Amino acid sequence: MSRTAVKLAERRPSRKVMVGAVAVGGDAPISVQSMTTTRTADVEGTLTQIYALAAAGAEIVRCTCNSREAAEGLAEIVPRSPVPLVADIHFHVEMALAALDAGVAALRLNPGNLRKPEEVKLVAREAGERGVPIRIGVNAGSLHPDFAAKYGGITPEALVASALYELDLFHEVSFDDVAFSVKASDVALMIEAYRLLASKVDHPLHLGVTEAGPPPGGLVKATAGIGTLLAEGIGDTIRYSLTADPVEEARAGRQLLEALGLRERKGLDLIACPSCGRAEVDVIAVAGEAQRQLEGLGLPIQVAVMGCAVNGPGEAREADIGIACGKRKGSLFIKGKIVRVVPEERMVEELVAEAKRLAEEGVEARLAAADPGAALEAARDREELLRLQGGDVNGASVKISRIRSRSEEG
């Protein structure tokens, strides 16, 4: 089945919020966010990280504003940042007001930490006067104890009630330029909380599994939660919360959106088989070296590294380009069509070179430049492998025999 034949659930309608020049919600593309780990008072260090995040795919970046020095740092960082900045506010209303003075594009308030109604309304009023949106960011780990008590602990209902209570405070000062998040480190809890919130408001939703932890476990948890909701049409902007270099967060977020077909591919997508007993080369090593060389090129293509010349080109026919490893040779293919057979020791080198040409010239031009004898040579190599390994590499004949026997018995 073609990849374009499968569609996700229709995206949930929502109002649009502008975070600087980046639209969140409505018909805007789902955006990727991350957060700096530097001290915001370190202006140059923070800017360096922001630029790295932007290069990795982050379109909105959050910085902590937890001191006067951090707010002063933001005043210098904001006009030099390549992307809109959100100030992360926890306990102190003064820091929210200082961040607004510094010119940030949005605020993130945690209802479990900034609790006094008059302070919350003051921030909303000041943000409204400046046209600055606010994300009401509820976290299971910092849920207001009143809501935990009312709803029997940290539940989806408690998280959503906390978010809606804060929205009611905003409405008292006629502020409605709001996005929401209801994050938890428990994936199932997070999913149910967002589903419930999505049924109650039309504001844009910021998805994330908070405190997901280090990779690979953190990547799995975040992808399970965020990916499930995106597949259901829920979510307008996302952040991976990893215990790692935040660049990994931005990269993972972008890759997830591209994998789901929610954003156009801007970088490398390398697919590879897991290897098996039929492989004649170290597929893991070949795939790793290909990834290492291709990642830095910034080519928006899908590349396949397949360990079997018997099935590889067919299984990966949707890839833009790939290599199917055989016995001392590799079949280089474009969109499933074999264009050249190359020696084993030059497989990665030839794959990278052809990928560059493909990006520059396009599929049709590279297919036209194919070696006319490549397909025949690859077919001969395939037959040789079948002879050496056995013609029925997938055990189909045994399965067919069993099916026929059952049919005759019936």
Convert the pLDDT of each residue in 13-52 to its tens digit: 999 999 999 999 999 999 999 999 999 999 999 999 999 9
Q: Distance between CA atoms of 208 and 147, rounded to whole angstroms?
A: 21
* pLDDT of res. 309: 61
Do 74 and 63 touch, CB atoms closer than 8 A? yes
Whether 250 and 318 map to the same domain: the answer is no
Average pLDDT, the chain: 89
Whether 155 and 275 map to the same domain: the answer is no
- Between the alpha carbon of residue 222 and those of residues 76, 183, 226, 253, the distances in Å are 33, 11, 6, 9
* Residue 175 identity (one-letter amino acid): F
**Residue at a domain's end among 241, 259, 277:** 259
Whether 253 and 108 map to the same domain: the answer is yes
Whether 250 and 313 map to the same domain: the answer is no
Of 236, 211, 249, the closest CA to residue 34 belongs to 249
Q: Looking at the domain assignment, is residue 216 inside a domain? A: yes
Of 67, 61, 59, the closest CA to residue 40 belongs to 67
Average pLDDT over residues 53-70: 95
Average pLDDT over residues 388-403: 61
CA angle at 88 for the pair 69 and 170, rounded to the nearest 5°:
120
Tokens of 154: 């940290």
Q: Looking at the domain assignment, is residue 3 inside a domain? A: no
- Model confidence at 1, pLDDT cuts 50, 70, 90, reads very low
Average pLDDT over residues 182-189: 97
Q: Looking at the domain assignment, is residue 406 inside a domain? A: no
The model's pTM is 0.81
Do 87 and 65 touch, CB atoms closer than 8 A? yes
Average pLDDT over residues 153-177: 97
Least confident of 90-104, 196-210, 257-271, 384-398: 384-398
Cβ partners under 8 Å of residue 384, min gap 6: 327
Q: Looking at the domain assignment, is residue 404 inside a domain? A: no
- Classify the C-alpha dihedral 381-384-385-390 as positive or negative: positive
Convert the pLDDT of each residue in 324-383 to its tens digit.
887 778 888 998 889 999 888 898 999 999 999 998 999 999 999 998 888 888 777 777
Question: Per-residue b/e over 280-302, b at no fewer than 16 CB within 10 Å?
Answer: bbebeebbebbeeebeeeebebb
Convert the pLDDT of each residue in 100-141 to its tens digit.
999 999 999 999 899 899 999 999 999 999 999 999 999 998
Q: Any idea which residue has 């902590």 for tokens?
A: 64
E strand residue ranges, 90-236: 106-109, 134-139, 178-183, 206-207
* pLDDT of res. 355: 93
Of 369, 322, 371, 379, the closest CA to residue 347 belongs to 322
Do 325 and 306 touch, CB atoms closer than 8 A? yes
Whether 195 and 251 map to the same domain: the answer is yes
| Statement: residue 406 has pLDDT above 90 | no
Q: What percent of the chain has pLDDT over 90?
A: 65
* pLDDT of res. 2: 39
Whether 208 and 339 map to the same domain: the answer is no
Q: Distance between CA atoms of 66 and 69, rounded to whole angstroms?
A: 8
Of 147, 144, 217, the closest CA to residue 185 belongs to 217
Convert the pLDDT of each residue in 85-97 to its tens digit.
999 998 899 999 9
The neighbouring-strand residues paired with 346 are none
Average pLDDT over residues 371-396: 69
| Statement: residue 397 has pLDDT above 70 | no
Q: Distance between CA atoms of 344 and 265, rounded to whole angstroms?
A: 30
Average pLDDT over residues 240-262: 95
Whether 222 and 315 map to the same domain: the answer is no
Do 380 and 325 touch, CB atoms closer than 8 A? no
The neighbouring-strand residues paired with 271 are 304
Whether 110 and 247 map to the same domain: the answer is yes
Range of the domain at 283: 269-389
Q: How is 18-61 classified by DSSP, letter by letter? A: EETTEEEETTSPPEEEEE--S-TT-HHHHHHHHHHHHHHT-SEE
| Statement: residue 3 has pLDDT above 50 | no
* pLDDT of res. 177: 98
Task: State how many domains the chain has.
Answer: 2
